[in-house]
Amino acid sequence: MTKYIPELTDIVLEEIPGKVTLAVEITNCRGNCPGCHTPLLRTDAGVELTEDAIDSLIASNFGVNCFLFLGEGADRDSLLRLASHIRRRHPGVETAIYSGRPEVEPDFYELFDYVKTGPYIEALGPLNSRTTNQRLYYHGEDITSVFWRKKLD
């Protein structure tokens, strides 16, 4: 079972480039990143994220064109089933996942249009830092550099 915190679900514009993204915080995170932005996500909090819940979230958030799983949770099969459901039921909505793992299995690149890998390491910075260890892939291609703003001298 994949669980999420409904109260933390939000529309975001900067997580996935050029997308109006529905960001859903997934609980039961297996990571233990120092400086974690939401330690609550490490717990078994929240409610089950079902196909019906996803359909309702997308229907009630007009204009969303990307569904972002912020975390993987503890049930890989459930997560992949939910991503497949979005692909089948909502063809105009791309899928994205933020994983804190350094690498993910190849099937993630098949089921998710966007895949972010790498734990947050404060000294290396987030995606918009050129020194970041994190990477964002679009259909397997590293697009991390779209977050790096050119400095004006």
pLDDT digits (tens, 9 = 90+) for 83-114: 999 999 999 999 999 998 999 999 999 999 99
Q: What is the mean pLDDT of residues 143-148?
A: 93
pLDDT for 11 beyond 60: yes
Domain tally for the chain?
1
Residue 150: its pLDDT value, please? 60
The partner residues of 47 in beta bridges, in order of sequence, read 4
DSSP E strands in the chain: the ranges are: 3-4, 10-12, 21-25, 47-48, 66-70, 94-98, 114-117, 135-138, 141-142
Q: From residue 66, how far is each of 69, 93, 151 by CA, in Å?
A: 10, 5, 29
**Residue 82 in domain:** yes
Q: Tell me how far apart the alpha carbons of residues 24 and 57 are, in angstroms, rounded to a whole number.
A: 10
**Residue 153 in domain:** no
Q: Which domain holds residue 129?
A: 3-147
pTM: 0.92
Higher pLDDT, 33 or 124: 124
Contact (CB, 8 A) for 75 and 2: yes
